[in-house]
Protein backbone atom coordinates (compact mmCIF):
# COMPACT_ATOMS: atom_id res chain seq x y z
CA UNK A 1 0.00 0.00 0.00
CA UNK A 2 1.06 3.59 -0.45
CA UNK A 3 3.05 5.43 2.16
CA UNK A 4 0.04 7.29 3.51
CA UNK A 5 -1.93 4.07 3.71
CA UNK A 6 -0.01 2.20 6.35
CA UNK A 7 3.05 1.86 8.51
CA UNK A 8 4.06 -1.63 7.57
CA UNK A 9 6.13 -2.83 10.47
CA UNK A 10 9.65 -4.16 10.08
CA UNK A 11 7.90 -6.18 9.12
CA UNK A 12 5.49 -27.32 9.45
CA UNK A 13 8.12 -28.86 8.29
CA UNK A 14 6.87 -32.10 9.95
CA UNK A 15 9.59 -34.17 11.54
CA UNK A 16 9.87 -37.68 10.13
CA UNK A 17 9.06 -40.49 12.55
CA UNK A 18 11.96 -42.89 12.78
CA UNK A 19 13.71 -45.03 15.31
CA UNK A 20 17.07 -43.77 14.04
CA UNK A 21 18.45 -40.26 14.39
CA UNK A 22 18.09 -38.16 11.25
CA UNK A 23 20.91 -35.87 10.23
CA UNK A 24 19.79 -33.28 7.65
CA UNK A 25 22.05 -32.87 4.66
CA UNK A 26 23.97 -29.61 4.47
CA UNK A 27 24.85 -28.43 1.00
CA UNK A 28 27.85 -26.26 0.35
CA UNK A 29 28.15 -23.66 -2.37
CA UNK A 30 31.37 -22.07 -3.48
CA UNK A 31 29.46 -19.81 -5.86
CA UNK A 32 25.94 -19.33 -7.13
CA UNK A 33 26.61 -21.63 -10.09
CA UNK A 34 27.27 -24.59 -7.82
CA UNK A 35 24.44 -24.08 -5.35
CA UNK A 36 22.87 -27.35 -4.22
CA UNK A 37 24.85 -29.72 -6.40
CA UNK A 38 24.57 -27.66 -9.55
CA UNK A 39 20.78 -27.29 -9.68
CA UNK A 40 20.98 -23.52 -10.13
CA UNK A 41 20.37 -22.55 -13.75
CA UNK A 42 21.81 -19.30 -15.15
CA UNK A 43 19.68 -16.76 -16.97
CA UNK A 44 20.85 -14.35 -19.64
CA UNK A 45 19.23 -11.11 -18.46
CA UNK A 46 20.95 -8.18 -16.73
CA UNK A 47 17.97 -7.51 -14.44
CA UNK A 48 15.39 -9.97 -13.14
CA UNK A 49 12.32 -9.32 -10.96
CA UNK A 50 10.71 -11.42 -8.25
CA UNK A 51 9.55 -14.95 -8.87
CA UNK A 52 5.75 -15.26 -9.05
CA UNK A 53 3.71 -18.27 -10.10
CA UNK A 54 6.68 -19.85 -11.88
CA UNK A 55 7.69 -16.80 -13.93
CA UNK A 56 10.04 -13.85 -13.43
CA UNK A 57 10.06 -10.51 -15.17
CA UNK A 58 13.29 -9.48 -16.89
CA UNK A 59 14.69 -6.31 -18.42
CA UNK A 60 16.30 -6.39 -21.85
CA UNK A 61 19.16 -3.89 -22.04
CA UNK A 62 19.00 -3.75 -25.83
CA UNK A 63 15.35 -2.75 -26.07
CA UNK A 64 15.05 -1.31 -22.52
CA UNK A 65 11.76 -3.18 -22.27
CA UNK A 66 10.41 -5.89 -19.98
CA UNK A 67 9.27 -9.46 -20.57
CA UNK A 68 8.90 -12.72 -18.64
CA UNK A 69 10.94 -15.93 -18.39
CA UNK A 70 10.38 -19.29 -16.73
CA UNK A 71 12.60 -20.94 -14.12
CA UNK A 72 14.69 -22.64 -16.81
CA UNK A 73 15.72 -19.20 -18.06
CA UNK A 74 13.62 -19.53 -21.21
CA UNK A 75 11.88 -16.41 -22.51
CA UNK A 76 8.12 -16.99 -22.38
CA UNK A 77 6.92 -13.43 -23.12
CA UNK A 78 9.38 -11.37 -25.13
CA UNK A 79 10.52 -7.96 -23.91
CA UNK A 80 7.89 -5.54 -25.20
CA UNK A 81 6.48 -3.65 -22.21
CA UNK A 82 7.51 -0.39 -20.53
CA UNK A 83 6.75 -1.73 -17.07
CA UNK A 84 5.39 -4.97 -15.65
CA UNK A 85 4.13 -6.41 -12.35
CA UNK A 86 4.28 -9.94 -10.90
CA UNK A 87 1.77 -12.60 -11.89
CA UNK A 88 -1.18 -13.13 -9.57
CA UNK A 89 -4.05 -15.54 -10.15
CA UNK A 90 -2.64 -16.35 -13.60
CA UNK A 91 -2.46 -12.80 -14.94
CA UNK A 92 0.08 -9.97 -14.83
CA UNK A 93 -0.34 -6.22 -15.25
CA UNK A 94 1.74 -4.77 -18.11
CA UNK A 95 2.20 -1.20 -19.32
CA UNK A 96 2.50 -0.11 -22.93
CA UNK A 97 2.57 3.51 -24.11
CA UNK A 98 1.62 4.71 -20.60
CA UNK A 99 -1.49 2.50 -20.37
CA UNK A 100 -1.99 -0.68 -18.34
CA UNK A 101 -3.60 -4.00 -19.24
CA UNK A 102 -3.20 -7.70 -18.37
CA UNK A 103 -1.60 -10.73 -20.04
CA UNK A 104 -1.77 -14.44 -19.25
CA UNK A 105 1.21 -16.78 -18.84
CA UNK A 106 1.45 -17.43 -22.58
CA UNK A 107 1.68 -13.71 -23.31
CA UNK A 108 -1.86 -13.45 -24.64
CA UNK A 109 -3.37 -10.03 -24.00
CA UNK A 110 -6.46 -10.72 -21.89
CA UNK A 111 -7.25 -7.09 -21.04
CA UNK A 112 -5.79 -4.66 -23.54
CA UNK A 113 -3.82 -1.69 -22.14
CA UNK A 114 -6.29 1.14 -21.56
CA UNK A 115 -6.03 2.04 -17.89
CA UNK A 116 -4.09 4.93 -16.34
CA UNK A 117 -3.07 2.91 -13.31
CA UNK A 118 -3.60 -0.52 -11.73
CA UNK A 119 -3.10 -2.08 -8.32
CA UNK A 120 -0.65 -4.92 -7.84
CA UNK A 121 -2.81 -7.28 -9.88
CA UNK A 122 -5.70 -9.68 -9.47
CA UNK A 123 -6.71 -10.65 -5.97
CA UNK A 124 -9.78 -12.70 -5.12
CA UNK A 125 -10.84 -12.50 -8.76
CA UNK A 126 -10.81 -8.71 -9.02
CA UNK A 127 -8.28 -6.04 -10.00
CA UNK A 128 -8.34 -2.33 -9.20
CA UNK A 129 -7.91 -0.12 -12.28
CA UNK A 130 -7.91 3.64 -12.70
CA UNK A 131 -10.16 4.69 -15.56
CA UNK A 132 -9.94 7.75 -17.80
CA UNK A 133 -12.23 9.75 -15.52
CA UNK A 134 -9.51 9.62 -12.87
CA UNK A 135 -11.62 7.45 -10.59
CA UNK A 136 -11.28 3.73 -9.97
CA UNK A 137 -13.15 0.58 -10.91
CA UNK A 138 -12.76 -3.15 -10.32
CA UNK A 139 -12.65 -5.57 -13.24
CA UNK A 140 -12.87 -9.35 -13.50
CA UNK A 141 -10.46 -11.58 -15.40
CA UNK A 142 -12.28 -11.08 -18.68
CA UNK A 143 -11.82 -7.32 -18.35
CA UNK A 144 -15.46 -6.57 -17.54
CA UNK A 145 -16.11 -3.79 -15.03
CA UNK A 146 -17.79 -5.42 -12.03
CA UNK A 147 -18.39 -2.15 -10.20
CA UNK A 148 -17.13 1.43 -10.14
CA UNK A 149 -15.33 2.80 -7.10
CA UNK A 150 -15.70 6.57 -6.83
CA UNK A 151 -12.57 7.07 -4.77
CA UNK A 152 -9.27 8.87 -5.28
CA UNK A 153 -7.34 5.66 -4.64
CA UNK A 154 -8.33 2.01 -4.49
CA UNK A 155 -6.31 -1.04 -3.52
CA UNK A 156 -6.34 -4.80 -3.98
CA UNK A 157 -8.71 -7.11 -2.12
CA UNK A 158 -7.51 -8.98 0.92
CA UNK A 159 -9.74 -11.22 3.02
CA UNK A 160 -12.81 -10.02 1.11
CA UNK A 161 -12.18 -6.31 1.69
CA UNK A 162 -10.33 -3.57 -0.19
CA UNK A 163 -8.96 -0.33 1.21
CA UNK A 164 -10.16 2.85 -0.52
CA UNK A 165 -9.07 6.44 -0.06
CA UNK A 166 -10.61 9.87 -0.47
CA UNK A 167 -8.70 13.11 -0.52
CA UNK A 168 -9.46 15.41 2.38
CA UNK A 169 -7.67 18.72 2.06
CA UNK A 170 -4.01 17.95 1.45
CA UNK A 171 -4.18 14.45 2.93
CA UNK A 172 -6.19 11.26 2.53
CA UNK A 173 -8.60 9.29 4.69
CA UNK A 174 -9.21 5.58 4.21
CA UNK A 175 -11.99 3.06 4.61
CA UNK A 176 -13.05 -0.31 3.17
CA UNK A 177 -15.42 -1.76 0.57
CA UNK A 178 -16.56 -5.35 0.11
CA UNK A 179 -16.36 -7.50 -3.03
CA UNK A 180 -19.68 -6.10 -4.29
CA UNK A 181 -18.44 -2.54 -4.04
CA UNK A 182 -20.48 -1.69 -0.95
CA UNK A 183 -18.83 0.80 1.38
CA UNK A 184 -18.50 -1.05 4.69
CA UNK A 185 -16.20 1.39 6.47
CA UNK A 186 -16.55 5.03 5.51
CA UNK A 187 -13.19 6.69 4.75
CA UNK A 188 -12.18 8.32 8.03
CA UNK A 189 -8.85 6.82 9.09
CA UNK A 190 -5.63 8.66 8.32
CA UNK A 191 -3.73 5.36 8.45
CA UNK A 192 -4.79 1.73 8.13
CA UNK A 193 -3.64 -1.62 6.78
CA UNK A 194 -5.21 -4.59 5.01
CA UNK A 195 -7.72 -7.10 6.36
CA UNK A 196 -6.33 -10.46 7.34
CA UNK A 197 -8.02 -13.19 9.36
CA UNK A 198 -11.10 -10.99 9.76
CA UNK A 199 -9.38 -7.94 11.22
CA UNK A 200 -7.63 -4.81 9.94
CA UNK A 201 -5.24 -2.45 11.75
CA UNK A 202 -6.42 1.17 11.96
CA UNK A 203 -4.95 4.27 13.59
CA UNK A 204 -7.19 6.47 15.72
CA UNK A 205 -6.00 9.48 17.71
CA UNK A 206 -2.38 8.46 17.17
CA UNK A 207 -2.81 4.87 18.42
CA UNK A 208 -3.34 1.61 16.56
CA UNK A 209 -6.05 -0.97 17.10
CA UNK A 210 -8.18 -3.33 14.98
CA UNK A 211 -11.61 -3.29 13.38
CA UNK A 212 -13.74 -6.20 12.18
CA UNK A 213 -15.50 -6.53 8.82
CA UNK A 214 -18.45 -4.52 10.07
CA UNK A 215 -16.18 -1.62 10.88
CA UNK A 216 -16.50 -2.15 14.63
CA UNK A 217 -13.42 -1.53 16.77
CA UNK A 218 -12.76 -4.89 18.43
CA UNK A 219 -9.24 -4.27 19.75
CA UNK A 220 -9.07 -0.74 21.08
CA UNK A 221 -6.41 1.59 19.73
CA UNK A 222 -3.57 1.38 22.24
CA UNK A 223 -0.42 0.50 20.31
CA UNK A 224 2.25 2.67 18.69
CA UNK A 225 2.09 0.43 15.62
CA UNK A 226 0.23 -2.70 14.48
CA UNK A 227 0.54 -5.10 11.54
CA UNK A 228 -1.95 -7.47 9.86
CA UNK A 229 -2.58 -10.89 11.37
CA UNK A 230 -0.75 -13.96 10.11
CA UNK A 231 -1.28 -17.46 11.48
CA UNK A 232 -3.39 -16.05 14.31
CA UNK A 233 -0.78 -13.55 15.52
CA UNK A 234 -0.03 -9.90 14.77
CA UNK A 235 3.08 -7.85 15.41
CA UNK A 236 2.61 -4.69 17.49
CA UNK A 237 4.87 -1.88 18.64
CA UNK A 238 4.75 -0.45 22.14
CA UNK A 239 7.26 1.92 23.74
CA UNK A 240 9.98 1.09 21.23
CA UNK A 241 9.63 -2.69 21.48
CA UNK A 242 7.78 -5.31 19.44
CA UNK A 243 5.48 -8.07 20.66
CA UNK A 244 2.64 -10.23 19.36
CA UNK A 245 -1.08 -10.45 20.13
CA UNK A 246 -3.81 -12.86 19.08
CA UNK A 247 -7.11 -12.09 17.32
CA UNK A 248 -8.86 -11.68 20.69
CA UNK A 249 -6.51 -8.83 21.56
CA UNK A 250 -4.58 -10.84 24.14
CA UNK A 251 -0.84 -10.18 24.23
CA UNK A 252 0.85 -13.55 23.69
CA UNK A 253 4.41 -12.26 23.41
CA UNK A 254 5.06 -9.14 25.44
CA UNK A 255 6.76 -6.18 23.79
CA UNK A 256 10.42 -7.06 24.28
CA UNK A 257 12.07 -7.22 20.84
CA UNK A 258 13.75 -4.46 18.83
CA UNK A 259 12.62 -5.94 15.52
CA UNK A 260 10.01 -8.38 14.33
CA UNK A 261 8.30 -9.94 11.34
CA UNK A 262 5.03 -11.71 10.61
CA UNK A 263 4.58 -15.40 11.42
CA UNK A 264 5.18 -17.79 8.54
CA UNK A 265 5.18 -21.58 8.85
CA UNK A 266 4.99 -21.32 12.63
CA UNK A 267 8.01 -19.05 12.97
CA UNK A 268 8.56 -15.30 13.27
CA UNK A 269 11.91 -13.51 13.08
CA UNK A 270 12.66 -11.24 16.05
CA UNK A 271 15.62 -9.05 16.92
CA UNK A 272 17.31 -9.09 20.31
CA UNK A 273 19.39 -6.09 21.34
CA UNK A 274 20.09 -2.84 19.53
CA UNK A 275 17.12 -0.57 18.84
CA UNK A 276 14.26 -0.35 16.35
CA UNK A 277 16.09 2.36 14.43
CA UNK A 278 19.40 0.58 13.79
CA UNK A 279 20.76 -2.69 12.43
CA UNK A 280 22.63 -3.73 15.54
CA UNK A 281 21.41 -6.63 17.62
CA UNK A 282 20.93 -10.22 16.50
CA UNK A 283 17.97 -11.99 14.91
CA UNK A 284 16.46 -15.32 15.83
CA UNK A 285 13.06 -16.99 15.45
CA UNK A 286 10.25 -17.58 17.91
CA UNK A 287 7.50 -20.19 17.78
CA UNK A 288 3.82 -19.57 18.43
CA UNK A 289 4.36 -19.71 22.21
CA UNK A 290 6.74 -16.78 21.95
CA UNK A 291 9.84 -18.71 22.96
CA UNK A 292 13.01 -18.53 20.87
CA UNK A 293 13.24 -21.80 18.95
CA UNK A 294 16.22 -20.60 16.89
CA UNK A 295 18.64 -18.55 19.02
CA UNK A 296 19.34 -14.91 18.15
CA UNK A 297 22.51 -15.24 16.07
CA UNK A 298 21.85 -13.68 12.65
CA UNK A 299 22.67 -10.21 11.37
CA UNK A 300 20.69 -8.01 8.99
CA UNK A 301 23.47 -5.56 8.25
CA UNK A 302 23.97 -6.86 4.71
CA UNK A 303 20.66 -8.60 4.05
CA UNK A 304 17.15 -8.59 5.43
CA UNK A 305 16.35 -11.55 7.62
CA UNK A 306 14.10 -13.96 5.71
CA UNK A 307 10.71 -15.48 6.46
CA UNK A 308 10.17 -19.22 6.15
CA UNK A 309 8.75 -20.43 2.86
CA UNK A 310 8.62 -24.10 1.92
CA UNK A 311 10.64 -24.95 5.03
CA UNK A 312 13.60 -22.62 4.44
CA UNK A 313 14.63 -19.06 5.32
CA UNK A 314 17.49 -16.92 4.00
CA UNK A 315 19.73 -15.56 6.77
CA UNK A 316 23.15 -14.02 7.36
CA UNK A 317 25.57 -15.23 10.00
CA UNK A 318 27.41 -12.78 12.21
CA UNK A 319 30.50 -13.17 9.99
CA UNK A 320 28.48 -11.96 7.00
CA UNK A 321 28.18 -15.32 5.23
CA UNK A 322 24.71 -16.07 3.85
CA UNK A 323 22.94 -19.35 4.59
CA UNK A 324 19.61 -21.10 4.18
CA UNK A 325 18.26 -22.57 7.40
CA UNK A 326 15.37 -24.92 8.14
CA UNK A 327 12.67 -24.37 10.77
CA UNK A 328 14.87 -25.87 13.46
CA UNK A 329 17.86 -23.63 12.74
CA UNK A 330 19.87 -26.26 10.87
CA UNK A 331 21.97 -24.80 8.05
CA UNK A 332 20.81 -26.59 4.91
CA UNK A 333 22.76 -24.52 2.37
CA UNK A 334 26.00 -22.75 3.27
CA UNK A 335 26.45 -20.15 0.54
CA UNK A 336 30.04 -19.47 1.70
CA UNK A 337 29.84 -15.84 0.56
CA UNK A 338 28.23 -12.55 1.49
CA UNK A 339 27.57 -11.60 -2.16
CA UNK A 340 24.56 -13.83 -2.80
CA UNK A 341 20.88 -13.22 -2.10
CA UNK A 342 18.29 -15.99 -2.26
CA UNK A 343 14.63 -15.07 -2.60
CA UNK A 344 11.67 -16.94 -1.13
CA UNK A 345 10.89 -20.36 -2.55
CA UNK A 346 7.91 -20.63 -4.87
CA UNK A 347 6.77 -24.09 -5.99
CA UNK A 348 10.15 -25.61 -5.18
CA UNK A 349 12.31 -22.93 -6.80
CA UNK A 350 13.97 -19.71 -5.58
CA UNK A 351 15.67 -16.91 -7.48
CA UNK A 352 19.35 -16.41 -6.64
CA UNK A 353 21.24 -13.18 -7.27
CA UNK A 354 25.02 -13.42 -7.26
CA UNK A 355 25.92 -9.77 -6.73
CA UNK A 356 29.59 -10.37 -7.53
CA UNK A 357 28.82 -10.56 -11.24
CA UNK A 358 26.70 -8.48 -13.58
CA UNK A 359 23.42 -10.18 -14.40
CA UNK A 360 24.26 -12.97 -11.96
CA UNK A 361 20.79 -14.46 -11.65
CA UNK A 362 20.16 -18.17 -11.15
CA UNK A 363 17.38 -20.52 -10.13
CA UNK A 364 17.82 -22.93 -7.25
CA UNK A 365 15.77 -25.99 -6.41
CA UNK A 366 14.60 -26.42 -2.86
CA UNK A 367 17.07 -28.93 -1.37
CA UNK A 368 14.57 -30.27 1.18
CA UNK A 369 11.57 -30.43 -1.12
CA UNK A 370 10.22 -33.70 -2.49
CA UNK A 371 9.05 -31.92 -5.67
Overall residue count recorded for the chain in this entry: 371
- What is the per-residue pLDDT across 28-53, written as a single tens digit (0 to 9) for each? 555 544 555 445 566 678 899 989 99
Confidence of residue 175 (pLDDT cuts 50, 70, 90): very high
Predicted pLDDT of residue 353: 87
Over residues 180-195, the pLDDT tens digits come to: 999 999 999 999 999 9
Answer yes or no: is pLDDT of 364 > 70: yes
User: What pLDDT, on the 0 to 100 scale, is given for residue 360?
Assistant: 81
Per-residue model confidence (pLDDT) at position 30: 52
For the stretch 209-263, pLDDT in tens is: 999 999 999 999 999 999 999 999 999 999 999 999 999 999 999 999 999 999 9
Does 179 have pLDDT greater than 70? yes
The pLDDT assigned to 29 comes to 54
Percent of the chain predicted with pLDDT > 70: 87
pTM of the model: 0.88
Give the pLDDT score at 322: 92
Among 14-18, 157-161, 344-348, 351-355, name the most confident range.
157-161
- Tens of pLDDT, residue by residue over 92-103, are 999 999 999 999
Amino acid sequence: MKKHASILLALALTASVSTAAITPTTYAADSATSIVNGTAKPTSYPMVGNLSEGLVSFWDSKTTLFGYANTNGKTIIKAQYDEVKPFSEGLAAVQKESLWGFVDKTGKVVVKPKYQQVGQGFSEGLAAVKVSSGKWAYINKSGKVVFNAAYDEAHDFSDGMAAVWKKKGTSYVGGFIDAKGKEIVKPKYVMLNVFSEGLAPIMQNGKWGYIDKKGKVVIKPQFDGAAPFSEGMALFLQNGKYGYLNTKGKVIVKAQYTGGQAFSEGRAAVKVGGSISDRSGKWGYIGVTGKLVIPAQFSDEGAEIGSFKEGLAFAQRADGVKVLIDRFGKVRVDLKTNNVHVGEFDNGVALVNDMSEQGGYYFMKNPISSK
